[in-house]
Structure 1
Amino acid sequence: MKSFYDLLSQKKKQSILPIFGFADVSAWEKETKYPTAPDFYPTNIFPEAKTVIVIGVPVVLPILETTPSVYYNEHQNNLNVVLENEIITLSSFLNRLGFASMPTARGGYSEMSVLIEKPMAAFSHRHAAYHAGLGAFGRNNVFLTKKYGPRVRFATILTAATQSELGVSKKKQKKSIAQKKKFEKNGLCIDCMACSKFCPIQAIGGDSKNTYPVVKTDKSRCAAYLDELGKKGTSRCGVCIKVCPVGKDRILFDRRNISIYNESEIGGEKKERLIRAWNHIRDYGTKK
């Protein structure tokens, strides 16, 4: 029988789950650069946990570019459904194999308004992705990957199985740890400050000398704005991940010049066509 690792590898080949990784729960206790409080360790969510399994699906850039829009809102919701279905199915599969496992909530909050007073969830998928060696933190609290920049949504499974029991070879485990160290040292953020400059509510610090965790998003302010957009039925912003120049998806969609997102400035024919397309989508399906 194929291992759990082989199962995820097959899903990756079929483009069902383009991104996945594994991390030992001990990584949270050892972390010094991007620490989290013990209350947010995997073992505080599932005491039996030994391994954290992270899966990710990319946000499609041209849909994200329409934000705020019902198109992006539905896209985000659909990605969450894909992730939730996968972690439930995969957890059930592991439980049938005799490895106690549980999926974590994709969002972890009842509605956006609750984040205004308490702007955090019980578990951070971004830190899980970081410990799995999938990328690096950017200027604020976004998580960057080489292929998609910050345009990835993650979900996590906590399991009592070790990585070896899941079929992750020692060689692959060492490679993941090496990738994490490389991302920790070199990062992926290019300090362009686009996330801060384009933020519609100036919720991201503008000090170019500091990065996360020194510079963070004003989460309460951000949540209040997202709640306001949500009441109109539109997407919950996403501007900071839209304008980030990191990611090979920008090459695929020919979006390397992020000046196209300054919609108030006159641009060439391509920019005008893009803005017309975005505005067309924004004009339909939501409250004014």
Structure 2
Amino acid sequence: MHDNLLIFGKTGQVATELRALLPEAHFAGRDEADLTGPAACADLIARVAPAAVINAAAYTAVDKAEDEAEIAHLVNASAPTAMAEACAARSIPFVHISTDYVFDGSGERPFAPDDTPAPLGVYGRTKLAGEEGVVAAGGSYVILRTSWVFSAHGSNFVKTMLRLGAERDALSIVADQIGGPTPARQIADACPTLVRQLQIAPEKSGIYHFSGAPDTTWADFARAIFEAAGLDCAVTEIATADYPTPAARPLNSRLDCTATEATFGITRPDWRAALTDTIATLKGSQ
């Protein structure tokens, strides 16, 4: 089955992990299907005729999206909608990665998949529009919302902290945003399971949540990174209001993942173990 999987994305964190996990799958990069041209995505699905499609590509530059709303909408909304429609027409499963940014981050309880979305910025709005397009396509699908993704690849908080922690004695880190750091490798591991179960039981279609455990703050996550890497860098806790960014960040990114475990048997990964592995990978590649 894996040799007949079409995966959109080549260089992102989840796509990179999927390439290591499923080397025989067909990976489509910008050269083959530019997501700013949604019709090209549908055409590729028709041409490859896969058994299933995974979309691991997205416009993820949260702040830049505020100035590039049109491009973000094409990549995050129009393209996955076109993919989902092409999959529905062929009765094949579609797995799409989404984000906690579809919520406004209010309150303190974890957001459930059926909670009402209320995105704060362009990135969240375009990702939500993509979700709505996938659902409306009417095929068998899983939308997997995740948060705070990290790995040894691409740009992410862990790599930024390792770089800054080696350069400085102290850093000020936001302490009033809470969420679950999620290893990209575990998101990649979940994708074939979702595909297989959708093929057997399309009635499992829906929106699900998947994030690492335990929930933590960015400041405490930074402390864990420095400790795991043996870096002597003190963390001063600051409020989100003290670190203004072009796009607003949700304060509460906790995700209720119980339905994902109940339906698919996929449990929340321990990000602390994955962090140790990620740092070891990065040190090994130096």
TM over 0.5: no
Q: TM-score, normalised by structure 2?
A: 0.31
Larger radius of gyration: 1
Higher normalized contact order (CA 8 Å, seq sep 6+, divided by chain length): 1
Which protein is richer in strand relative to its size?
2
